[in-house]
């Protein structure tokens, strides 16, 4: 409805050839008699441009809704989610947290939230989208290589994320 319902902070730190990403977000919205709060935390570590580890946790109304942890063991990711354990045999070079710092140029991305690769589509230059198995759709829009807007479509509604202006 055009109202601010939350905030997000994303940090990237570099130490030589290692990059650390940390995303935290919080939102709260109400509709009629229903109120929903949501917080997300994601952490990812890259070395020489390859994802070494990731972690994501989603808390809704005070309860852990989902989490996923992935660690590269030299041959595959060992993934643990709130529902299962599995392996992923290919190492990633782009995941969700990187969207906030650089425009993607890859046909698929690794999602910290589910510990898996998903296809990445570009319906037009500067626009990229992916869909999670839950049906959630994320759309990222860039202008001259800089992130301008993120649209997150969920079953309960759509959120628009804009970079803060200084």
Tell me the Ramachandran region of residue 62: left when phi exceeds 0, alpha when psi lies from -120 to 50, beta otherwise.
left
Answer whether residue 154 shows pLDDT above 90.
no
Separation of alpha carbons 104 and 98, rounded Å? 8
Q: Which long-range contacts (CB under 8 A, 24 or more apart) does 135-138 make?
A: 138/96
Answer whether residue 157 shows pLDDT above 70.
no
Answer whether residue 130 shows pLDDT above 90.
yes
Answer whether residue 163 shows pLDDT above 80.
no
Cα angle value 111/113/116 (rounded, 5°): 45
Task: Indicate the pTM of the whole model.
Answer: 0.87
User: Counting Cβ atoms within 10 Å, is residue 77 exposed (0-12), middle (13-18) or buried (19+)?
Assistant: buried
Q: Which of 88, 89, 91, 110 is nearest to 99 (CA)?
A: 110
pLDDT confidence bin for 99, thresholds 50/70/90: very high
Answer whether residue 62 shows pLDDT above 50.
yes
Interval 79-108 mean pLDDT: 96
Answer whether residue 156 shows pLDDT above 90.
no
Answer whether residue 166 shows pLDDT above 60.
no
pLDDT tens column, 24-38: 988 777 666 667 788
Residue 33, H or E segment:
none
pLDDT at 27: 79
pLDDT confidence bin for 114, thresholds 50/70/90: very high
Determine the number of helices (DSSP H) and then strands (DSSP E) in the chain. Answer: 0, 14
Separation of alpha carbons 162 and 148, rounded Å? 6
Q: To the nearest whole number, what is the mean pLDDT of the chain? A: 90
């Amino acid at each position: 409805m055009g109202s601010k319902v939350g905030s997000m902070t994303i940090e990237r730190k570099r130490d030589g050839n290692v990059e650390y990403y940390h995303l935290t977000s919080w939102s709260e919205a109400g509709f009629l008699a229903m109120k929903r709060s949501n917080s997300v935390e994601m952490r990812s570590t890259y070395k020489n441009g390859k994802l070494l580890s990731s972690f994501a946790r989603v808390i809704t109304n005070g309860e852990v809704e989902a989490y996923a942890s992935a660690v590269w063991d030299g041959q595959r990711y060992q993934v643990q989610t709130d529902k299962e354990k599995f392996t992923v045999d290919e190492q990633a070079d782009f995941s969700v947290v990187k969207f906030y710092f650089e425009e993607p140029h890859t046909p698929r991305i690794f999602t910290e939230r589910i510990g898996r690769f998903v296809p990445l589509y570009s319906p037009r230059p500067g626009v990229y989208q992916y869909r999670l198995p839950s049906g959630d759709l994320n759309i990222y829009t860039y202008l001259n290589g800089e992130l301008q807007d993120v649209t997150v479509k969920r079953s309960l509604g759509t959120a628009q994320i804009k970079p803060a202006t200084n």
